[in-house]
Amino acid sequence: MSYLMGIDIGTTGAKTLIIDEKGAVAASSNFEYPLQSPAPGWAEQDPAQWWDAVKSGIPAALTAAGLRGDQVAALGLSGQMHGSVFLDQADQVIRPCILWCDQRTGEQCHWITDTVGKDLLTQETCNACLTGFTAGKIIWLRQNEPANYARVRKILLPKDYIRLRLTGEYATEVSDASGTCLLNVPQRRWSDKVLAALQLDQSLLPAVFESPVVSGRISASAAEVTGLKAGTPVVGGGGDQAAGGVGTGIVRSGLVSSSTGTSGVVFAFLDKPTFDPQLRTHTFCHAVPGKWQVMGAALSAGGSLRWFRDAFAAPEKEIAAQMRIDPYDLLTQEAAQAQPGCEGLIFLPYLTGERTPHADPSARGVFFGISLRHQKRHFIRAVMEGAAFGMKDSFDILQEMGVPIQQVRATGGGARSALWRQIQADVTGLPHHTINVEEGPAYGVALLAAVGAGVFSSVEEACDATISLRSRTDPIPDNVALYRECHRIFRQLYRNLKATFAETAQLVARRP
């Protein structure tokens, strides 16, 4: 039997997953690395640490599965989107990678929009130019670090830097390239018009492939350090959201995933490249050849609960360690003791700014409505509800766009919590299903590798053969009505605070 490997270069660590031809997980490994924030709103990583994690992760997964490298038929790559790896003529990294959550490029994004023209930019890329996207990072480097920019000979996305280290090839694929704001999304190729307007030479960018297509093969040097067989095919893969879409079977019209991880992502399949006229969501190429996706992203969903855990839940963490359980289990048990709506306590989960629907890097987290009656359980539940309210904004936009929502699949760490699934079902008014796999993007690119290796004839066939529904959480009508009112207040709070968020950001920026 042949095996397939998927590697996901996440924000906190690199996951290596091995599955068999039937989609069963054989083994996985995960190696973490740090994130640096050298200035307020900045986020960077050293790409060498990704490579170190991959070099450790591949042998660890092979060992855990009891496999030899030559039993892996193909490999797929996924990773955090939008990051900018700047390479010199010798393929050496010039500076740390600027990550998706970095917010330094506001001025550059405005300049790009004005320079290209909003209408042309939208026509070509189907998106607004946002601070997270790669184009702004390139212009920021040109304007702020001209000596570094002068050395740049190639610009790669995070997973594609790992592809270079594995294969020696400069390559990307359509789903990840969509998040650069440099791709003609309807035509699935680099945009000559946008590049010309920005005076960027296309030679700086890698070749673009469809996601299941072989884009390189494991080199002899990479084989030596990873244990894989030289010549093993590496497919295009996908940006983490498109790969996660494949890994949850969102490959047909009417299917939507609701992923509660660090961010909260609502992801829907599109047969045609349709975009929100107000550009509150993102329309990208899907990892399914010839298809597209639309997604909304709340930047801090599970990340908000993690923040609360680390800042305020030291007792729960200590007890959980003694009981050898996850501290989140204790937190959700406490939250379950609070009533829906938390007696008027509402949380805005904008800890790192917000993307959908506000595209506001200055937005910040807020607890509103605190009274003497509120205890820790209310605050925990309010965080969970606030994340769900933020994600409901994306569901509402999809419905405005006419995107069919016939089935919602709950994924990510939040989907493991029955309470959080119920909250999300109640907030959206839509049943939430779980599926038989929870491996996310790494599983999706392993399936893409299976297609590239000929195990399946299409991405749809691969998903049909390996992914099935496991459970269903139906909304509770009384809670749906209550949360509808809570969400209205949630939306009004942002509108009331928007100007104050901007003033506060300016104040913080003036402090040394």
The sign of the CA dihedral 151, 156, 157, 161 is: negative
CB 16 within 8 A of CB 9: no
Q: Enter the DSSP assignment of 360.
A: B
Per the annotation, the verdict on 160 as an active-site residue is no
Amino acid at position 229, single letter: K
- Tell me the residue ranges of DSSP E strands in 225-352: 233-235, 238-239, 255-260, 264-270, 282-285, 292-298, 346-348
Task: Return phi, psi of residue 187, to 5°.
Answer: -95, -10
Alpha carbons 51 and 20: distance in angstroms, whole number? 25
Question: Which residue intervals of 145-301 are DSSP H helices?
Answer: 146-151, 158-167, 174-177, 192-198, 220-226, 240-247
Provide DSSP, 25-40.
Answer: EEEEEEEE---B-SST
**Which residue out of 240, 276, 393, 426 is catalytically annotated?**
240
**Each residue of 413-445: b (16+ CB within 10 Å) or e?**
bbbbbebbbbbbbbbbebebbbbebbbbbbbbb
Alpha carbons 255 and 403: distance in angstroms, whole number? 10
Comparing CA positions, the residue from 83, 226, 73, 240 lying closest to residue 161 is 83
Alpha carbons 432 and 39: distance in angstroms, whole number? 39
- Provide the annotated active-site residues: 240
